[in-house]
Structure 1
Amino acid sequence: MELRCSVAGSGGGQAAVGAGPGLAMEGQGCGEDYESLPTSVSPSTHMVAGAEAGIMEHTVMYPVDSVKTRMQSLQPDPKAQYKSVYGALKRMVLTEGFWRPLRGINVTMLGAGPAHAMYFACYEKMKRTLSDIIQQGGNSHLANGIAGSMATLLHDAVMNPAEVVKQRMQMYNSPYKSVLDCIRTVHRTEGFGAFYRSYTTQLTMNVPFQAIHFIVYEITQEKINPRREYNPRSHILSGAIAGAVAAAATTPLDVCKTLLNTQENMALSSLNISGHLSGMVNAFRTVYQLGGIPAYFRGVQARVIYQMPSTAIAWSVYEFFKYFITKHKLEKRTPY
């Protein structure tokens, strides 16, 4: 399927939904392609598509995310030392129960919907606005990177508390009985600020991650889908490549974020650090003291394995819902 425009004849015909796979857009010239929806479409289109994509992305890949969190542990329990993603999943299921890799998934689902709704809506709006300023009528990669970075500010403001709770639930021998127990305990013992202790580190990681991610995605789309049609295979492939490149490049920052979120007791006590670790600089220093340069890349395999299908799912689901919602709206207002 593809979403494309058709030009009315000299007699001034009306654009309509054709019998074939193409979808003509009323009142739109051929400069308006699938990737940038008609300006008459409400941002709610992007928000609904983004929410669906975020929930699907995080739930499908959640078990691998649980493994990534554990593999990034700087001083793990001997019973929680893993050599591979598959080996970790197998041991978690056999020793801790079938549902253990999914522990904390409910708080992730609650955060992922609104976070990704704002994320994609902001990205689409800023992408169009900045592209018109930087490269009028074209697709500016600089605009894509800046738009992705700005969208991250909204996304992380919603997701950071969910990420803190999720990662504490994922750790080996987590002391929390449920998501609500974790929220109450963290708030009571560490204060509300604990939910945003890693926010600056999260932004420091996600701003370059999303800038790289969106730029690589758009470049890949230009190479394999230059007409910007609705093509699921191209969205999956572009998303996977973009996710893998961005994930590998930003793994050191992800390790620091995990340390700040989990406040790993064994690791901090081994350096005689009392109280709670805070701040990106302190996290970087602590990671280096605990394992040198290699420590910054703990869990890189799990992170790439998680991010490749994760971003592929996110983009394919997002682009599908963009297509589906737009097609539905156009069919409703097109006379037959």
Structure 2
Amino acid sequence: MAAAVADTRAGGGAQWSPAPGAMASASTTSGAPAQASTSRHSIWDSSRMFFAGGTAGAIARTATAPLDRIKLLFQVQNMQGSGTQAGAYTGIFQAAGKILREEGFLALWKGNSVLIIRIFPYSAAQLAANDSYKRLLADEVTHELTVQRRLLAGACAGMTATALTHPLDTVRLRLALPNHPYKGAVDAVRTIVRTEGVAALYKGLIPTLVGVAPYAAINFASYDLAKKTFYHGEKPQNPIANFFMGAGSGTVAATVCYPLDTVRRRMQMKGTVYSSQADAFRTIYAKEGVRGFYRGWLANTLKVTPQNSIRFVAYEAIKAVFGIKKSKTDT
């Protein structure tokens, strides 16, 4: 087909204009690079969001690792196979002093290397997925989200990240215990797989998903709604205000979901005496009462408060440094 046709106009000679087919072809051709550019831009933004989330999580976790280890020891000290005596840890300062005397200063960060290996992809996947799910669930016209959709986005983000990194969390838990038999993270994985099977790396996954879904839902949704109420639109972000809002949302979410976290930790332990999540709830309640579900709660709250705050503020700051364009629904 000819690329152009003659156009004879009054008072002038023949002029040449593109044929309809050529115009369509040109339009298609010009549209393809634009679509490819948009796709590349989206992938580039997602990659940077992933890295920003991972870095923010690593910073926050390292800063609060000592409290995380103390909380963990409180949760499992009454279990067989934990390597600790019942009642060995009675308070935060007592536990910290005992660790310092018996194991040394760096023991407060025992298991942290595995924790960072796990938390980088976990935090990256969770924060980036939350923003992505919210963009997907937002109203096409107003770009607004209902409370229910914010909760759904947070729950899905938490479960996505957890499913990807649960084996690393199991290894980290084993390495955090005193007198563990492993030489390091790699040896722990090999030993667990050889002696207990691959499935042992996924012990406690179901209660973990059950626990993390409401936690992530409440945490993300309450933080977003607090910011929406505080800023009333396009006001400049205040990192200090965001820090306190992150502290509040994390504390509320952690308190509501803490019993599920205790059950999860105990089911991940080697030699666990529980046959199911329901059995764990019944046994803990029968032997230890309601307090058994909240062992280590104070240490956890003292950890979650700054950790959640640091993670949110760092994530937003790193995204700004990377020049990631902020969507209306983004955290």
Provide the C-alpha distance between the structure 2 equivalents of 1:303 and 1:87, rounded to a whole number of angstroms: 15
**1:170-195 CA-partner distances (Å, limit 9, x unpaired):** 12332323222221211111111111
SS of 1:204's equivalent in the other structure is helix
Residue equivalent to 2:217: 211
Residue equivalent to 2:33: none
Deviation, structure 1 residue 278? 4.9
Judged with a 3 Å threshold, the aligned counterparts in structure 2 of structure 1 residues 116 and 228 are, in CA distance, closer, same or farther, namely farther
Provide the C-alpha distance between the structure 2 equivalents of 1:89 and 1:162, rounded to a whole number of angstroms: 25
Gaps of at least 5 residues in structure 2 are 1-40, 327-331
SS of 2:178's equivalent in the other structure is coil
Deviation, structure 1 residue 158? 2.4
Deviation, structure 1 residue 104? 1.2
Q: Does structure 1 conserve the Cα–Cα contact (< 8 Å) formed by 2:242 and 2:313?
A: yes
Amino acid in structure 2 at the alignment position of 1:217 = Y
Return the match for 2:52 from 49, 57, 82.
49
Return the match for 1:125 from 124, 127, 132.
132
Residue equivalent to 2:64: 61
**1:145-203 CA-partner distances (Å, limit 9, x unpaired):** 11111111221022211111111111233232322222121111111111111111111
Deviation, structure 1 residue 288? 2.1
Judged with a 3 Å threshold, the aligned counterparts in structure 2 of structure 1 residues 111 and 98 are, in CA distance, closer, same or farther, namely same
Deviation, structure 1 residue 328? 10
For normalisation by structure 2, the TM-score amounts to: 0.78
Residue equivalent to 1:88: 95
Provide the C-alpha distance between the structure 2 equivalents of 1:308 and 1:291, rounded to a whole number of angstroms: 27
Provide the C-alpha distance between the structure 2 equivalents of 1:279 and 1:152, rounded to a whole number of angstroms: 22
Provide the C-alpha distance between the structure 1 equivalents of 2:70 and 2:94, rounded to a whole number of angstroms: 10
Judged with a 3 Å threshold, the aligned counterparts in structure 2 of structure 1 residues 252 and 327 are, in CA distance, closer, same or farther, namely closer
1:75 and 2:82 correspond: no
Provide the C-alpha distance between the structure 1 equivalents of 2:296 and 2:43, rounded to a whole number of angstroms: 44
Matches within 5 A, 1:91-106: 91-106=98-113
Residue equivalent to 2:208: 202
Provide the C-alpha distance between the structure 1 equivalents of 2:189 and 2:324, rounded to a whole number of angstroms: 42
Return the match for 1:171 from 153, 171, 177.
177
Q: Does structure 1 conserve the Cα–Cα contact (< 8 Å) formed by 2:77 and 2:85?
A: no
Aligned residues: 281
Deviation, structure 1 residue 222? 2.1
Q: Does structure 1 conserve the Cα–Cα contact (< 8 Å) formed by 2:204 and 2:268?
A: yes
Provide the C-alpha distance between the structure 1 equivalents of 2:43 and 2:195, rounded to a whole number of angstroms: 49
**1:56-75 CA-partner distances (Å, limit 9, x unpaired):** 12221111110011011251
% of aligned pairs identical?
A: 27
Q: Does structure 2 conserve the Cα–Cα contact (< 8 Å) formed by 1:119 and 1:152?
A: yes
Amino acid in structure 2 at the alignment position of 1:310 = Q
Residue equivalent to 2:32: none
Provide the C-alpha distance between the structure 1 equivalents of 2:222 and 2:325, rounded to a whole number of angstroms: 30
Q: Does structure 1 conserve the Cα–Cα contact (< 8 Å) formed by 2:137 and 2:145?
A: no
Residue equivalent to 2:296: 299
**Structure 1 or 2: more helix by fraction:** 2
Q: Does structure 2 conserve the Cα–Cα contact (< 8 Å) formed by 1:131 and 1:137?
A: yes
Deviation, structure 1 residue 39? 7.2
Residue equivalent to 2:250: 243
Judged with a 3 Å threshold, the aligned counterparts in structure 2 of structure 1 residues 40 and 261 are, in CA distance, closer, same or farther, namely closer
Deviation, structure 1 residue 311? 0.5
SS of 1:42's equivalent in the other structure is helix
1:156 and 2:194 correspond: no
Judged with a 3 Å threshold, the aligned counterparts in structure 2 of structure 1 residues 147 and 305 are, in CA distance, closer, same or farther, namely same
1:192 and 2:189 correspond: no
Worse-matched range after superposition: 172-181 or 124-133: 172-181
Amino acid in structure 2 at the alignment position of 1:43 = S
Deviation, structure 1 residue 316? 0.7
For normalisation by structure 1, the TM-score amounts to: 0.77
Deviation, structure 1 residue 251? 0.8
Q: Does structure 2 conserve the Cα–Cα contact (< 8 Å) formed by 1:216 and 1:242?
A: yes
Judged with a 3 Å threshold, the aligned counterparts in structure 2 of structure 1 residues 173 and 79 are, in CA distance, closer, same or farther, namely farther
Provide the C-alpha distance between the structure 2 equivalents of 1:295 and 1:124, rounded to a whole number of angstroms: 36
Deviation, structure 1 residue 143? 1.7
Provide the C-alpha distance between the structure 1 equivalents of 2:182 and 2:298, rounded to a whole number of angstroms: 28
Amino acid in structure 2 at the alignment position of 1:218 = D
Q: Does structure 2 conserve the Cα–Cα contact (< 8 Å) formed by 1:80 and 1:172?
A: no
SS of 2:151's equivalent in the other structure is helix
1:145 and 2:148 correspond: no
Provide the aligned C-alpha RMSD in A.
2.4
Return the match for 1:113 from 94, 100, 120.
120
Gaps of at least 5 residues in structure 1 are 1-37, 330-336
Provide the C-alpha distance between the structure 2 equivalents of 1:327 and 1:70, rounded to a whole number of angstroms: 40
SS of 2:139's equivalent in the other structure is helix
Provide the C-alpha distance between the structure 2 equivalents of 1:147 and 1:113, rounded to a whole number of angstroms: 20
Amino acid in structure 1 at the alignment position of 2:264 = K
Deviation, structure 1 residue 301? 0.9
